[in-house]
Amino acid sequence: MTIKGKATSLDIAHLAGVSQPTVSRALRGSPSVNPETRERILAIARELNYKVDKNASNLRAQQSGTLALLFFEDPTPDDSLINPFFHSMLGSITRACALRGYDLLVSFQQLSNNWHADFEDSHKADGLILLGYGDYLEAESKLQRLVAQGTHFVRWGAALPGEPGISIGCDNFQGGHDITAHLVAGGRRRIAFLGHASDHYPEFFERWRGYAAALAAAGLAPDPALQVDAITTEQSGHEAVRALLASGARFDALFAASDLIALGAMNGLREQGLRMPQDVAVAGFDDIAMASFVQPGLSTVQQDTKQAGEVLVDSLIRLIQGEVVESRTLPVKLVLRGSSSTTAG
């Protein structure tokens, strides 16, 4: 094995049959490289008498002063592919970064299948903020890899025990409970739930658990016939309420796991000549901008996106600085409008 001149990591990559980033990870002991590959790379490095450039290594270790905000691509009626709920959070995160002297790099998580390694190897950013994840059980393995390779990251999501890394999220259970209790207090007894109620969607599941707890407190039980799966799009909400109506199930209210689902459901109810709130009271979750502009205005659970952005940025910077950071649950509040009560503001 002969190399002219000083051996480089590219030479090792060629001889080992791997990429140069894989060589870099192996040489710094990253657990993301399997043991057999690591040993092969280290053996070639020893044979070539390869020496890590300390100055270059130190330069790479320096902080970039940049944080990366990675969005999960959501199905949207426009070309943004960004859940409208995250629009206001983007502004809050940008302001929080500026106040702390950090630049913000914004990208989509789906630009490559290996986005978690891309940022680790390129040193584009000192840490990651993750917004959205789709099916959580499919995303969990990537989050676990981020933890294993020592990447500094925080994510917006349900802050539940045992989840990988640091999660910042709202009190989904309390929000689901309080908005359902409001519907019950208005005399509603057959309250439908539109949204997934499983571990695949932890935030929706927590909202469903709060819904079920509020029903139980009123001496009611969730009716499986009144739960319809839906993802966070108006189209999904429209299809869910149409399926509910087609089933013949009786309901006098519905709680949608997101405002977009609720807005789609409201269109479906109108198409069938149903009045809101007289025939069906409707409530959502998020308090996106459109919730206050539709007629009637949509009752919902408000998540404080300003506080959320500030906490996400602060938590990530503290992680980067080596401090101990814990997941946090932020409070929510009800915003009551005409969709659930003729007396609501």
- Write out pLDDT tens, residues 117-163: 566 556 678 899 998 776 677 777 778 888 887 888 999 988 888 88
pLDDT at 343 over 60: yes
pLDDT at 7 over 70: yes
Of residues 327 and 101, which shows the higher confidence score? 327
Place of tokens 């009551």: 336
CA angle 26, 30, 33 (to 5 degrees): 60
pLDDT (average), residues 209-234: 96
What DSSP assignment string belongs to 210-269? HHHHHHHHTT----GGGEE---SSHHHHHHHHHHHHHHT---SEEEESSHHHHHHHHHHH
Ranges of beta strands (E only) in the chain are: 66-71, 103-108, 127-131, 153-156, 166-170, 191-194, 227-228, 253-256, 281-283, 300-303, 328-330, 332-335
Tell me, what's the pLDDT at 47?
85
- Is residue 2 helix, strand or coil? coil
Q: Which two tokens stand for residue 203?
A: 């935030």
Portion of the chain with pLDDT greater than 70, in percent: 84
Q: pLDDT digit string (tens) for 60-118?
A: 455 678 899 988 765 555 555 567 888 888 899 999 998 888 899 888 765 445 655 56
Tell me, what's the pLDDT at 315?
95
pLDDT (average), residues 315-328: 91
Scored b (16 or more CB within 10 A) or e, 220-259 reads bebeeebbbbbbbbbebbbbbbbebbeeebebbbbbbbbb
CA 142 to chain centre: 13
Is there a contact between 314 and 96 (Cβ–Cβ < 8 Å)?
yes
- Is residue 125 helix, strand or coil? coil
Going by C-beta distance under 8 Å and a sequence separation of 6 or more, which residues neighbour residue 54? none
Is there a contact between 202 and 162 (Cβ–Cβ < 8 Å)?
no
CA–CA gap between residue 239 and residue 232 (Å, rounded)? 12
Going by C-beta distance under 8 Å and a sequence separation of 6 or more, which residues neighbour residue 199? 136, 137, 205
Min mean pLDDT across 1-10, 228-237, 285-294 is at 1-10
Say how many C-beta atoms besides its own lie within 10 A of residue 126's C-beta: 21
pLDDT, mean over the chain:
86
Amino acid of residue 105: L
Residue 344's φ and ψ, nearest 5 degrees, are -70, 150
Residue 5's φ and ψ, nearest 5 degrees, are 80, -165
